[in-house]
Chain A
Amino acid sequence: MGVRKIYLDNNATTPCDPRVVETMVPYFFEHHGNAASRNHPFGWEAEEAVDYAREQIAKLINADEKEIIFTSGATESDNLAIKGVYEMYSRKGNHIITVKTEHKAVLDTCNKLEKHGAEITYLDVQADGLINLAELETAIKPNTIMVAVMWANNETGVIQPMKEIGQICEKHGVLFFSDATQAVGKIKTHPRDVGVHLMAFSAHKMYGPKGVGALYVSRKNPRVKVTAQLDGGGHERGMRSGTLNVPGIVGFGKAAEIAMQEMDQDAARLSALRDKLEQAFLHEMEEVYVNGNVAHRMPHVANISFKHVEGEGLMMTFNQEIALSSGSACTSASLEPSYVLVALGLGDDLAHSSLRFSLGRFTKEEDVNYAIEAIKKGVNHMRDISPIWEMYKEGVDLTKIEWAAH
């Protein structure tokens, strides 16, 4: 009997659906052609496969297939969108508005541009993780070229008010870019419906393969252009050079097709399991807190703090069997916990005490049942050996203690 292994870290990456793998296999050997080889059947087959995948992906997001630019993943898509727009629209302005809880691929790209003369506004979020729309609107200036707000947050699952943000961008004539990596394939993400002009996403977060992603770039009303960040053969309508990852793209297409068919049933099943997990902790344990807005949240995600227990230590009680993430950053040299949770105004102590549960298509109810018991046991054990839990139980006000910060 092997060790039980339960995977509740689907926001980090999802397993590649076996149906996706099966579709990809012929494109490694049998149909190995380069999609840019225009003069022989190997190239034609590859091109045809890529075109088909592009259609499947376009359908999922209700876009035109010409609006899909293939990349190596969401990080590259984020870079291409932000740097590409910054360069292309430099005559219009140099100001970009983004949010403190964005993924590092957005934040670090913005930081880099700041060094090259960009002006970046990093919006705060409210305690529930949502941005304040009035603050966004106030931040827009004549030199603003783009607003970059992620569709759903990777740590908390909180979904931003996309439609309202889109309306504000429309009103002020600025581009709206969204990193939708955590949302595409899980919930409805139709950029045109909400006024998103550029949208980054990735195959491996939606049961496709790693190493392939896409950037949606609106082709009309408005026609958006980005300056290429990779120079070369002029693939992808000149926006992204580089030989296409044909098997990856084929898999991405299949993953999109499956997502389109199964998204609703997956979401309903997973939100029920997620709620069961969350309620078990909230009802059966003390000092448990859910982080982020629970009404505007991805169906498969829960971010929960177990007060007076350190997340990484807690994970060690069950990490041979259960995989998930913590907002504690005990491994980082800075000792800083999750910047996303800190931006929500959580104290560092609660951020250190957080676990992120992200369920997925292959999560079974028995996995969740097992995880509930294992994690409860782990929390109780860690509280038994936690001095601050003991102090809390004795009625000591922990905020009044002069801690020796180190």
Chain B
Amino acid sequence: MAYSNKVIDHFQNPRNVGTLDKASKSVGTGLVGAPECGDVMRLQIEVDDATGVIRDAKFKTFGCGSAIASSSLATEWLKGKSVDDALKIDNMDIVEELALPPVKIHCSVLAEDAIKAAITDYKKKNGVEVADEATVA
């Protein structure tokens, strides 16, 4: 299967690979997927406590090219967004931006799940009420 140029670009030059201090109160970590399924994404956000804006975002992903590209793109989109706006990122936006084929849609779903999981983690750490749907199954 041929990948889109955008997937290849994110794969070859992944943005924001790395690790933030998960113990920090201003960092939210989302770890989704499972090794047995062939996809594990870890997405982290660092939030400016005063403004609620995401200052930094990092990822590491075990998975195929589309999974890596989806998480790389997610970190790009997260930076500079408010936490509330970040929650509005929909997996279909990722599918569209990266021109993912139907068999790779699950990669985008996983990225959306990772975003929500990271935000949930951040909110929990900071004593913010978390709606049930934000937790990742």
- Output the nearest chain B residue to A333 by Cβ-Cβ distance: B103
Interface 0/1 of B96-130, CB less than 8 Å to A: 00000001101001100100000000000000000
Cβ A406 vs Cβ B38 within 8 A: no
Do A332 and B103 contact each other (CB < 8 Å), given the known contacts A385-B17, A387-B61?
yes
CA distance A387 to B42 in the complex (A): 6
Q: Would you call B136 an interface residue if the criterion is a C-beta within 8 Å of the partner chain's C-beta atoms? A: yes
Residues of B within 8 A of A403 (CB): 33-36, 40
Cβ B64 vs Cβ A348 within 8 A: no
Contacts A329-B38, A385-B68, A387-B31 given; 8 further ones with Cβ under 8 A? A308-B35, A310-B64, A335-B106, A385-B60, A387-B40, A387-B62, A404-B34, A406-B110
- Which residues does B use to contact A, with CB under 8 Å? 1, 3, 8, 11, 14, 17, 19, 31-42, 59-68, 103-104, 106, 109-110, 113, 136-137
Cβ B38 vs Cβ A328 within 8 A: yes
Q: Which of B11, B34, B68 has the largest count of A CB atoms less than 10 A from its CB?
A: B34
10 tightest Cβ-Cβ pairs between the two chains A and B: A403-B34, A348-B36, A349-B35, A387-B42, A387-B60, A330-B64, A352-B38, A312-B64, A316-B65, A386-B62
Cβ A406 vs Cβ B34 within 8 A: yes
**Residue in B17, B37, B67 whose CB lies within 8 Å of A313:** B67
Residues of B within 8 A of A337 (CB): 38
Distance between B92 CB and nearest chain A CB, rounded to angstroms:
17
- Output the nearest chain A residue to B31 by Cβ-Cβ distance: A387
- 27 intermolecular pairs with C-beta atoms under 8 Å apart: A310-B62, A312-B64, A313-B63, A313-B64, A316-B3, A316-B8, A316-B64, A330-B38, A330-B39, A330-B63, A330-B66, A331-B64, A331-B104, A348-B37, A352-B36, A352-B38, A385-B17, A386-B62, A387-B31, A387-B41, A388-B62, A389-B62, A398-B35, A403-B40, A404-B32, A404-B34, A406-B110
Cβ B38 vs Cβ A385 within 8 A: no
**Residue in A310, A332, A347 whose CB lies within 8 Å of B39:** A310
Q: Would you call A384 an interface residue if the criterion is a C-beta within 8 Å of the partner chain's C-beta atoms? A: yes
Cβ B17 vs Cβ A406 within 8 A: no
CA distance A404 to B116 in the complex (A): 14
Interface 0/1 of A382-395, CB less than 8 Å to B: 10111111100000
Residues of B within 8 A of A333 (CB): 103
Residues of B within 8 A of A21 (CB): none
CA distance A386 to B60 in the complex (A): 5
Distance between A347 CB and nearest chain B CB, rounded to angstroms:
7
Instruction: Give how many A residues have a beta carbon under 8 Å from the other chain's beta carbons.
Output: 31
Cβ B61 vs Cβ A405 within 8 A: no
Do A349 and B36 contact each other (CB < 8 Å), given the known contacts A316-B11, A385-B68?
yes
Q: Would you call A147 an interface residue if the criterion is a C-beta within 8 Å of the partner chain's C-beta atoms? A: no
CA distance A332 to B103 in the complex (A): 7
Interface 0/1 of A307-340, CB less than 8 Å to B: 0111011001000000000001111110101000
Distance between A365 CB and nearest chain B CB, rounded to angstroms:
29
- Output the nearest chain B residue to A398 by Cβ-Cβ distance: B35
Distance between B105 CB and nearest chain A CB, rounded to angstroms:
10
CA distance A165 to B55 in the complex (A): 65
Residues of B within 8 A of A331 (CB): 1, 64, 103-104
CA distance A329 to B63 in the complex (A): 11
CA distance A312 to B31 in the complex (A): 21
CA distance A97 to B40 in the complex (A): 38
Residues of A within 8 A of B17 (CB): 384-385
Distance between B21 CB and nearest chain A CB, rounded to angstroms:
13
**Residue in A312, A330, A385, A406 whose CB lies within 8 Å of B61:** A385
CA distance A335 to B66 in the complex (A): 14
Distance between A395 CB and nearest chain B CB, rounded to angstroms:
15
CA distance A340 to B14 in the complex (A): 33
Residues of B within 8 A of A388 (CB): 35, 40, 62
Residues of B within 8 A of A332 (CB): 103
